[in-house]
């Protein structure tokens, strides 16, 4: 792969498969930083003599930071050079990752976890950039990058658990900082410059992002589905650590992290599902996805101490969650033109990660008061609400 001539590209040129691959790998390595904490919450709690609830706040603040970055930073992708924005965010992320290795209190971990989440939003500048560069195969391109993102999310647990068990939890962030540095250099070399169209002020830019929510009914519905879907997803992965580290499993962090390997299998279907969205089968794909969510939750509710049931449940849950998300993302880029994509993406993904933060909080509360039964019970309610929204969408489409 050679750098683009004059480091610029026309939005009408076909996007290079190697550039898509670089974007996908970068997305995975970057977004993984939000999820490294999940298998090692107990390790962090033990070192700082914190409670499970206090350790759980780390996951919540990572999501909150990401949500803040999505709303206040990613709209800038429609106003300033996307490449410069991406590389700047990566640099700030690298600094935060190295700083967290020197923390001496749970409070410092909380603060830096929020910054790590905030600066990881470079992923959400890469996504609309890729969608604008390849309008003909948008679903496939977004699906490929989303595959990288999902594999990053899921592999984060494997990497984090294994590194923490052998080298300590601080080295998880040290090794990640090195990896982010490497991909940032490649992004600096190979990402093209794309002209932006928005000439207003920053305040006008944020206001314009909110107007997209009001303008597009489909965006409002997709955002609501995203809140519910990612809420149950984050609720599950945060509390799974506590469930597997207690009786009767008593697993260590490296074993808990291996559950991420099971989930990666579902992520590999993302490009296929993206093609389904391109062919106008989005409602059918999402009904299938939510059906898998419901089956997986019921499995883990009624067979909560069965390891095979949990493994199968993880696989189905991640295929279902991935199916919903990649189709929703492909759909939001059909709204408006390329000049609006960063703002539309901001609205959707801000809602999405607010849902993640809420889901993490609700999951921790349910774990404290009712254990795994309460956790899976509230997940089931969220999945059924998604099915209800999809039913209404199908009905509204028929009567139009």
- Domain coordinates in residue numbering, the chain: 15-193+210-395
Asked if 287 and 388 count as a contact pair (C-beta separation under 8 A), the reply is: no
Counted residue by residue, the chain has a size of 400
Least Cα distance to 356 among 41, 20, 60, 72 occurs for: 60
Q: Which residue has the tokens 């976890």?
A: 113
Structure tokens at 77: 């992708």
Structure tokens at 78: 């429609």
Asked if 306 and 388 count as a contact pair (C-beta separation under 8 A), the reply is: no
Asked if 367 and 375 count as a contact pair (C-beta separation under 8 A), the reply is: yes
Count other C-beta atoms under 10 Å from residue 13's C-beta.
11
Which CATH code fits 15-193+210-395? 1.20.1250.20
Contacts of residue 69, defined as CB under 8 A and 6 or more positions apart, other chains included, come to 89, 117, 118, 119, 120, 121
Expressed in percent and rounded to 5, the helix, strand and coil fractions of the chain are 85, 0, 15
Q: To 10 degrees, the CA torsion angle through 74, 77, 81, 85?
A: 10
Least Cα distance to 221 among 400, 398, 399, 397 occurs for: 397
DSSP-assigned letter for residue 118: H
SS3 207: helix
What is the pTM for the complete model shown?
A: 0.75
Can you name the residues that pair with 8 across neighbouring β-strands? Answer: 193
SS3 35: coil
Least Cα distance to 313 among 226, 233, 247, 384 occurs for: 233
Give the whole-angstrom CA distance, residue 53 versus residue 56: 5
Give the whole-angstrom CA distance, residue 12 versus residue 356: 35
Give the whole-angstrom CA distance, residue 91 versus residue 202: 22
What string of pLDDT tens digits covers the 400 residues of the chain?
666 555 544 444 567 889 999 999 999 999 999 989 988 888 999 999 998 889 889 988 998 898 899 889 988 888 888 899 999 999 999 999 999 999 999 999 999 999 999 999 998 898 878 877 766 666 677 778 877 887 888 788 788 988 988 899 999 999 999 999 999 999 999 998 877 777 888 888 888 888 888 888 888 999 999 999 989 998 998 899 889 988 889 888 778 878 877 777 766 665 566 565 555 567 777 888 899 899 999 999 999 999 999 999 988 898 888 888 878 877 887 787 766 777 887 888 888 888 888 898 899 899 999 999 999 999 999 999 999 998 887 766 554 4
Q: To 10 degrees, the CA torsion angle through 387, 388, 392, 395?
A: 70
């Amino acid at each position: 792969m050679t750098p683009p001539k004059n480091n610029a590209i026309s939005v009408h040129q076909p996007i290079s498969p190697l550039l898509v691959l670089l974007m996908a790998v970068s997305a995975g390595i970057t977004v993984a930083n939000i999820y490294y904490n999940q298998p090692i919450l107990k390790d962090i709690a033990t070192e700082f003599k914190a409670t499970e609830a206090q350790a759980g706040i780390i996951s919540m603040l990572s999501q909150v930071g990401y949500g803040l970055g999505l709303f206040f930073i990613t709209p800038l992708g429609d106003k300033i050079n996307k490449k410069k924005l991406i590389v700047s965010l990566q640099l700030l992320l690298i600094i935060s990752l190295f700083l967290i290795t020197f923390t001496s209190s749970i409070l410092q971990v909380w603060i830096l976890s929020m910054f790590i989440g905030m600066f990881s939003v470079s992923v959400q500048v890469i996504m609309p950039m890729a969608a604008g560069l390849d309008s003909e195969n948008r679903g496939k391109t977004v699906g490929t990058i989303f595959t990288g993102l999902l594999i990053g999310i899921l592999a984060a647990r494997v990497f984090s658990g294994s590194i923490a068990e052998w080298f300590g939890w601080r080295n998880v962030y040290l090794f990640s900082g090195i990896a982010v540095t490497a991909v940032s250099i490649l992004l600096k070399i190979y990402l093209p410059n794309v002209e932006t169209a928005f000439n207003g002020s920053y305040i006008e830019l944020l206001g314009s992002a909110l107007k997209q929510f009001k303008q597009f009914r489909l965006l409002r519905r997709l955002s609501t589905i995203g809140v519910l879907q990612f809420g149950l997803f984050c609720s599950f992965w945060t509390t799974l650590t506590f469930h597997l580290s207690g009786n009767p499993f008593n697993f260590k962090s490296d074993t808990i992290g291996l559950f991420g390997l099971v989930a990666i299998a579902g992520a590999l279907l993302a490009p296929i599902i993206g093609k389904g969205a391109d062919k106008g089968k989005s409602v059918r794909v999402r009904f299938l996805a939510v059906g898998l969510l419901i089956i997986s939750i019921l499995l883990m509710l009624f067979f909560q101490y069965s390891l095979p049931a949990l493994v199968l449940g993880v696989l189905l849950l991640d295929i279902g969650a991935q199916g919903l998300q990649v189709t929703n993302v492909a759909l939001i880029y059909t709204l408006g033109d390329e000049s609006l994509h960063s703002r539309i993406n901001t609205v959707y993904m801000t809602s999405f990660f607010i849902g993640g933060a809420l889901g993490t909080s609700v999951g921790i509360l349910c774990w404290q008061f009712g254990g795994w039964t309460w956790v899976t019970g509230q997940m089931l309610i969220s999945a059924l609400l998604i099915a209800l929204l999809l039913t209404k969408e199908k009905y509204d489409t028929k009567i139009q």
